[in-house]
C-alpha cells in the first residue's frame, strides 16, 4: 500500500516540544495547501474518498483519530496519536477517518490546491479504477 508513517524529529527541552515541517525535506513533496479538521462530533466518520493525483501527509497535532486505508487489495487501520508522526498517503488510496477524540486536531499537508475533480468519492468507481490500473 502506498502509505508510510514518517517519524518527525521533535525538538524537546524543559519548555516543551517543537516539530518543524519542511517541504522536500521531512515532507516528501512541495506543500501547496494545509487544512485542519477539529471540533469533530462524537461517532463521526469522514473522508470516504481517494484522490487521482493528490499526495498528502496527515498529522494529528492534538488528540487522536484512526484512519482506514484501502488500496483495493488490502485494508489497514492506523492510529494517529502522536504529533511527531506523519501519515503519508499517496494517490489512489481510499481513506476514512473515525474514532476522533474530542480534542483531536487533524492537520493535513497537500501537494496541490483544492480540486474537486481530483476526488473519487464513489467506492465502486474507486475499486474499478484500481483494478483497471493493476
Ligand atoms: P470534505 O471533503 O467533506 O472533508 P473530509 O474528506 O474530511 O470528509 O470537505 C468538507 C468541505 O470542505 C467540503 O465542502 C469541501 C471543503 N474543502 C475545501 O474547501 N478545501 C479543502 O482543502 C478541503 C479538504 C475541503
pLDDT tens digit string along 64-120?
Answer: 999 999 999 999 999 999 999 999 999 999 999 999 999 999 999 999 999 999 999
pTM (2 d.p.): 0.95
- Reported as a pLDDT band with limits 50, 70 and 90, residue 132 is low
51 part of the active site = no
Q: Which residues sit with their C-beta closer than 6 Å to ligand 1?
A: 33, 35, 37, 46-47, 49, 114
Q: CA-CA distance, 108 to 119, in Å (whole number)?
A: 16
Annotate 33-44 with b (16+ C-beta within 10 A) or e (fewer).
eeeebeebeeee
> Would you list the domain boundaries of the chain?
4-8+22-133
- Reported as a pLDDT band with limits 50, 70 and 90, residue 134 is low
Neighbours of 106 (CB within 10 A): 23
Task: Look at the block and give the residue holding cell 477517518.
Answer: 97
Q: CA-CA distance, 106 to 35, in Å (whole number)?
A: 8
Q: Which of 40, 45, 47 to mutate to test the pocket of ligand 1 (most atoms within 8 A of CB)?
A: 47
Question: What CATH number does domain 4-8+22-133 carry, 3.40.50.170, 2.60.120.10, 3.40.50.720, 2.30.30.90?
Answer: 2.60.120.10
1, 76 Cβ separation under 8 angstroms: yes
Which whole-number Å values give the CA distances from 43 to 65, 87, 102, in the listed order? Answer: 11, 22, 10
Amino acid at each position: 500500500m502506498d502509505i508510510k508513517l514518517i517519524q518527525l524529529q521533535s525538538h524537546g527541552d524543559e519548555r516543551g516540544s517543537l516539530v518543524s515541517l519542511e517541504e522536500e525535506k521531512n515532507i516528501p513533496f512541495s506543500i501547496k495547501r494545509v487544512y485542519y479538521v477539529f471540533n469533530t462530533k462524537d461517532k463521526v466518520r469522514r473522508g470516504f474518498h481517494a484522490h487521482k493525483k493528490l499526495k498528502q501527509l496527515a498529522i494529528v497535532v492534538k488528540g487522536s483519530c484512526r484512519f482506514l486505508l484501502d488500496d483495493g487489495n488490502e485494508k489497514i487501520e492506523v492510529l494517529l496519536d502522536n504529533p511527531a508522526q506523519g501519515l503519508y498517503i499517496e494517490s489512489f488510496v481510499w481513506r476514512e477517518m473515525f474514532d476522533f477524540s474530542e480534542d483531536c486536531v487533524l492537520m493535513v499537508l497537500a501537494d496541490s490546491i483544492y480540486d474537486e475533480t481530483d476526488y473519487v468519492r464513489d467506492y465502486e468507481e474507486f475499486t474499478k479504477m484500481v483494478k483497471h490500473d493493476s
